[in-house]
Structure 1
Amino acid sequence: MSGGDQTSVDSRPRLVVRKVLAKPQREGDGAVVRRSIGRMELKQLDPFLMLDEFSVSAPAGFPDHPHRGFETVTYMLQGAFTHQDFAGHKGTIRTGDVQWMTAGRGIIHSEMPVGEGSQKGLQLWINLSSKDKMIEPRYQELVKEDIKRAEKDGVEVRVIAGESMGVKSPVYTRTPTMYLDFTLKPGAHMKQSIPESWNSFVYVIEGEGVFGSLNSSPASAHHVLVLGPGDVINVWNKSANPLRFVLIGGQPINEPVVQYGPFVMNTQDEIDQTIEDYHFCKNGFENAKHWKSQ
């Protein structure tokens, strides 16, 4: 057995139950994203609300916009993005860095590309339970060097959240989550355990791999693969090129989801209240009165 976690012989392999190609669409100001979770074919996968693979060149980007009720996880694959919010938090996320932002009761921020050419990455939206939706915003930021990694038998993993190959991430996941970035050399095979009660999926970044069972058809870049029940995922790279993908899983919240763009709550009344709070700069949006990104 190569890579991943050690699993018992009576483990139940997760198979691919759904495969969706992330097609380009326009978002923000002139930006193009490939949305996999959050599109008509796959509205959500509790606790995940959205996954975008973005490729943005200046002057396009994501200017000032609000969030409430969930978390955004931005993982830079190439280039850099600057972010700043109405509470004075600002910085630059570079290749290999992660920003884990808990929007909670309210954030207004901007996310704009830095430098020449295309800036690429993934942004995941993770829902928060009703008890956590109105908490104070917070950030967890990891530079590339802080993200723990492990390598064995042609399998390399970067552990953004959760645990793999005995390596554990320091990220605190309010909604229990795993977020693993795997690269498999040609011919490599890996197993990774996943808590049985969690929902999970794979997003292929580059290359081509066989997921779930040896006789399943290969999946290539820009596909999201929803995994069925079980407690372990098997992956093979039968191709002549490296395979890179993220494996993401989370504990379902099992609560109603009412979404209005960047606001995600449990009821329509809460959404109406959020729109009012945003419009009148109150209940978490006070700083919006006098703020604009620079």
Structure 2
Amino acid sequence: MAAANVSRKVVQKVLAIETAEGAGARVRRSIGSAGLRNLTPFLMLDHFHVSKGAGFPDHPHRGQATVTYMLEGSSRHEDSAGHAGTIETGGVQWMCAGKGIIHAEMPVHAPGVPEPRGLQLWVDLPKQYKLVEPSYQELAPEGVPTAYPDGPDGPVSVRVISGKSHGVESPVRPLGGCWFFHVRMAKAGSTFSQEIPAGWTSFIYIWKGAVNVGEGGSRCEAFNTLVLSADQAQSGVDVQAAEDGVEFVLVAGEPLDQSVVQYGPFVMTTHEEIEKTISDYRRGQNGFEKAHSWKSKIGN
């Protein structure tokens, strides 16, 4: 693919500071923090590290999709619809909570195995899909297709978690447009270009190394989320590795023309819908029928 004719540039940079979350979990949150509350359609981005004894036991969701991508180690999951499994290093789970689900996410710890680290992205659902039946799209590590912009021996590889890059397309089909790429750049000075649909919201989150974005862009270091411009004339983004061994995700999504009203794990478009969601959860109805009877094995 030729370099983007006009590259997007960084319009906001947010450093994700590591903080404690619950007992034993450490989280770097950028989207969803005070510095970057909402970035439609994205609601939250957490870079998590879960120590032994920690985890995220039974909790509900409604109105959003949660995307979990494991960078190291593995994590088990179980839900009130009878779905259970393990996300291994390099695997992804794309869960559409829809009208309601209760689930648990617990790390796997074993001698000689890396502690679980990964990314969790919350994506708002278009309002017409807020109350669909919950669903999963999961890819094992070997099921995530990889693009090599400069050939298999080149310095750049792109794991295509969703969307398409350099002729390679993921089988994941989100409700609402969303592309998600894990980019590795082995050598300083190597370049990567990616087309992005005009007008889509896009960002980069770096966790290894540093990059320059766009023409004349300044150096951006690890643990920063870089919000990219969305000018209609900008056809994509150009990234240059500022050092060896760079890794980041590039995520782009179709913005939603709707309000975001959030109450913890419930994300709707009006306060009335949130009140109805809380009532449904308390009453155990409309998607939350097992709210008071189901208990996960892994979270208890």
Q: TM-score, normalised by structure 2?
A: 0.93
Partner of 2:218: 217
Deviations 1:50-70 (A, max 9, x none): 000000012111111110001
The structural deviation recorded for 1:255 is: 0.3
Gaps of 5+ in 2: none
Matched, 1:181 2:182: yes
Q: Is the 8 A contact 1:204 1:244 kept in 2?
A: yes
Q: Is the 8 A contact 1:29 1:62 kept in 2?
A: no
Residue type matched to 1:234 in 2? D
Gaps of 5+ in 1: none
CA RMSD of aligned residues (A): 1.2
Matched, 1:107 2:86: no
Partner of 2:281: 278
Matched, 1:155 2:156: yes
Distance 2:118 2:48 in 1: 5
Q: Secondary structure at the match of 1:274?
A: helix
Q: What does residue range 32-71 of structure 1 map to in structure 2 within 5 Å? A: 32-71=26-65
The structural deviation recorded for 1:12 is: 2.1
Matched, 1:168 2:162: no
Matched, 1:123 2:120: yes
Q: TM-score, normalised by structure 1?
A: 0.94
The structural deviation recorded for 1:28 is: 4.1
Q: Secondary structure at the match of 1:108?
A: strand
Of 254, 257, 270, which residue of structure 2 is paired with 1:254? Answer: 257
Question: For residues 17 and 182 of structure 1, do their structure 2 counterparts lie closer, same or farther at Cα, with a shift above 3 Å needed?
Answer: same
Partner of 1:231: 235
The structural deviation recorded for 1:44 is: 1.1
Runs of 4+ in 1 over 2 A off after TM superposition: 5-8, 25-30
Distance 2:246 2:87 in 1: 24
Distance 1:223 1:118 in 2: 22
Identity %: 49
Partner of 1:79: 73
Distance 2:242 2:109 in 1: 36
The structural deviation recorded for 1:201 is: 0.2
For this pair of structures, how many residues does the alignment match? 286
Q: Please say which of residues 66-75 and 28-37 is displaced more in the overlay.
A: 28-37
Residue type matched to 1:147 in 2? V
Q: Is the 8 A contact 2:3 2:238 kept in 1?
A: no
Distance 1:56 1:30 in 2: 6
Q: Is the 8 A contact 1:204 1:245 kept in 2?
A: yes
The structural deviation recorded for 1:269 is: 0.5
Q: Secondary structure at the match of 1:289?
A: coil
Distance 1:282 1:162 in 2: 35
Residue type matched to 1:178 in 2? W
